[in-house]
Amino acid sequence: MSTHPAGELLQGARATWGAALLVAPGQVLRLAGEHQPDSRSLAVVRLLGARHLVQAAFSGRAPGRATLADGAWVDAVHALTSLALAAGDHPRARLALLDAVIAASWGAASARAARRVPLREGRAASARERLARAVHPLLPWAPRL
């Protein structure tokens, strides 16, 4: 199967970001301005790192249009839940807003990559791409492929 640089670079960057969150959450939080991260914040950052790694693994090396579009949808939902956290958890509001911006950025990058990747039909589409295409219509407010 041929690959497309937009999807490849994005998933490599996502896997790197997820690994950094998973293995060095304290350092990431300190870079974000949190001088003494508590155990809850560290656990949430690790969980977010695992989420990014799972998404990168599901997307694979050569994600198709539907796979990237579904990933953009997941990132948008992540951004919205981070905004809700910012509204309800004032001590963590700044970090939640930062996370919302980061998640929205991943979503925008995924959506842009999805538009650049050719649509593969039938046997030309990978099994993950066929699964993503089957799931896509079930996602509320997901854009058309």
SS3 sequence, 37-50?
CCHHHHHHHHHHHH
Is 79 inside a domain boundary? yes
Predicted local distance difference test score (pLDDT) of residue 1? 45
Q: Are 125 and 133 in contact (CB under 8 A)?
A: yes
- Which residue range forms the structural domain that includes residue 71? 5-138
With CA atoms as reference, report the closest residue to 24 among 51, 50, 45, 39.
45
Is 143 inside a domain boundary? no
Is 33 inside a domain boundary? yes
Q: Note the pTM of the prediction, 2 decimals.
A: 0.88
Tally of domains in the chain = 1
Predicted local distance difference test score (pLDDT) of residue 4? 66
More confident residue, 121 or 16: 16
Is 45 inside a domain boundary? yes
Is 145 inside a domain boundary? no
Is 108 inside a domain boundary? yes
Predicted local distance difference test score (pLDDT) of residue 127? 87
Q: Are 87 and 56 in contact (CB under 8 A)?
A: no
Residue 120's pLDDT band, with cuts at 50, 70 and 90, is confident
Residue 61's pLDDT band, with cuts at 50, 70 and 90, is confident
Tell me: the pLDDT tens digits for 65-98? 999 999 999 999 999 999 999 999 998 899 999 9
Rounded Cα distance between 110 and 104, Å, is: 10
Write phi, then psi, for 132 (nearest 5 degrees).
-60, -40
Average pLDDT over all residues of the chain: 91
Per-residue tokens: 10: 């994005």
Helices 39-59 + 5-23 axis angle, to 10: 150
Is 96 inside a domain boundary? yes
Is 12 inside a domain boundary? yes
How many residues does this entry show for the chain?
145
Would the pLDDT of 15 be above 90? yes
Q: Are 115 and 52 in contact (CB under 8 A)?
A: no
